[in-house]
Amino acid sequence: MTEVFFYHLERRTLDDVLPELLTKTLERGWRALVRAGSAERVAALDTHLWTYSPNAFLPHGTAADGHAARQPVFLTAKDEGPHAANVIFFVDGAAPGDWAAPGVADRERVVVIFDGADTEAVAVARDHWKSAAAAGHAVTYWRQNERGVWAKLK
């Protein structure tokens, strides 16, 4: 059974949160796949992950960089998994077509990050929650408290 975490963004943006979550993933010795909603968003995330902090380095790549199988973090807008990622991050509306499919069900964790200010994104996340739970995954909901700390609510 795969753990599926839903991160509800209200106080910070994806650009703020994603580098932190990816860093924690790499600290566990895991590899990550980030699936975004468009090729343009992949390009923007690629640039952002190189420049988000002058004091940090987050190794990652895209198909344009080549060597996908060697990338600790791989960014894509396609339904692909070119390396053995332990965690898949779905951002900007991207999500699996089938929550029971091997590309999802055989991961350690799946993380869905959605914008709480976008009512459509919230509705879609609710549908994904139901689908993930129906597929037998352990689903949890994370929200930032007033101090900005992530708290597990369900």
Which residue ranges in the chain fall short of pLDDT 50?
Answer: none
**pLDDT tens digit sequence for 36-69:** 999 999 999 999 999 999 898 899 999 888 888 8
Decide if 121 contacts 8 (C-beta within 8 A): no
pLDDT (0 to 100) of residue 103:
78
pLDDT given at position 7: 95
pLDDT at residue 37 in the model? 92
Phi, psi of 64 (to 5 degrees): -65, -25
- State the alpha helices, DSSP H only, in 1-154: 14-27, 39-51, 102-105, 119-134
Q: How would you class 95 by CB atoms within 10 Å of its CB: exposed for 0-12, middle for 13-18, buried for 19 or more? A: buried
Q: Could you tell me whether strands 150-152 and 138-144 are parallel, antiparallel, or unpaired per DSSP bridges?
A: antiparallel
Q: What is the per-residue pLDDT for 93?
A: 87
Cβ atoms of residues 74 and 61 within 8 Å? yes
